[in-house]
Amino acid sequence: MASGQKGFLLSLQSSDRRDQTKMVFWVVTDGQPVCLVIDNELAVFFLPMSAFQQAEALSSWLTTYCSMLR
């Protein structure tokens, strides 16, 4: 799929394996269906400021717990 080419999104799949996120998009263009793959994408999420302290405590706990499993 050439840069700037237009298409219609048919499907989206994402997976997390070995601490890496992979996103797969199937797009139909005027010519043919195209598979776009984005490897090693950074995961991002947002939460309200009111939940920040709770999320920070959970993150700290998860980091400690996961390090004990390795």
User: Looking at the predicted structure, is the pLDDT value of residue 2 above 80?
Assistant: no
The answer to whether the CB of 8 falls within 8 A of the CB of 28 is yes
3-state SS, the chain, equals CCCCCCCEEEEEEEEEECCEEEEEEEEECCCCEEEEEEEEECCCCCCCHHHHHHHHHHHHHHHHHHHHHC
Listed by start position, the domains of the chain span 8-69
pLDDT band at 63 (very low <50, low <70, confident <90, very high): confident
pLDDT at position 50:
93
pLDDT tens profile 15-51:
888 778 888 999 998 888 889 998 887 778 889 999 9
User: Looking at the predicted structure, is the pLDDT value of residue 4 above 80?
Assistant: no
